[in-house]
Amino acid sequence: MNDKPVVPINCLFQGCYNPAFEAEISKCKDKCYKYNQLNPNDREAQRRILAELLGQMGENVIFTPPFWCDYGYNISVGDYFYSNHNLIITDGARVTFGNHVFIAPNCCFTTAEHPVDPEQRKAGLEIAKPITVGDNVWIGAGTTVLAGVTIGDNSIIGAGSVVSKSIPANVVAVGVPCRVMREITEADKYRYPLYQGN
């Protein structure tokens, strides 16, 4: 039986000053702390903690420490996932990553929003909206992905972007706010010379 508190999606709820949610977050922070204290090359011990922490995890998954999240069990990660140092995921709602996702250092994925109305905000109300990242996506360094966003398959998000609206598949997008710059084309296969050494 699942005794975890359920965060409502896309509507205001009592997120702050809520003992049930605070207890879950505290348990998650303990696991993240243990993870971050491991030798960064101890993949076996990392995988054991990640298997306990995450809701779903594929094969060949690497979260380079430090890594922090709020609940853990709302995060789903596909095969061949790699995140570099300092990934933060505030996963009040579901955060789903496809296969072959690369995340550069210092990125944040946050499902949380707070009310515009100051009285509601002061009362600790918040809203959670899911984030979905497709297959073969590369997220550049220092990117923030906000609540409710979907990033389509094969797309690239440039460094330093703030992704406040969904990004379609097969594009390069960058900026604050993040905007589509161009489509990814066959010519991109020849963008860089191929190393011919031994």
Indicate the pLDDT class of residue 10, thresholds 50, 70 and 90: confident
Is the pTM higher than 0.85? The answer reads yes
**Residue range 127-183, pLDDT digits in tens:** 999 999 999 999 999 999 999 999 999 999 999 999 999 999 999 999 999 999 999
**Residue range 104-127, pLDDT digits in tens:** 999 999 999 999 999 999 999 999
Per-residue pLDDT for 43 more than 70? yes
**pLDDT mean over 13-37:** 95
Sheet holding 144-145, edge to edge: 67-69, 87-90, 108-110, 144-145, 162-163
The catalytic position among 31, 114, 159, 162 is 114
Most confident of 7-11, 76-80, 191-195: 76-80
Amino acid at 64: T
Per-residue pLDDT for 1 more than 70? no
Sheet holding 95-97, edge to edge: 56-57, 75-77, 95-97, 131-133, 150-151
**pLDDT mean over 16-25:** 93
- Alpha carbons 135 and 187: distance in angstroms, whole number: 20
Contacts of 23 (CB under 8 A, 6+ apart): none
The per-residue pLDDT of the chain, averaged, comes to 95
Q: Which residue has the higher pLDDT, 152 or 4?
A: 152
Catalytic annotation on 114? yes
Domains detected in the chain: 13-181 (2.160.10.10)
Task: Tell me what pLDDT residue 7 has.
Answer: 81
- Alpha carbons 182 and 172: distance in angstroms, whole number: 6
Cβ-contact 127, 11 below 8 angstroms: yes
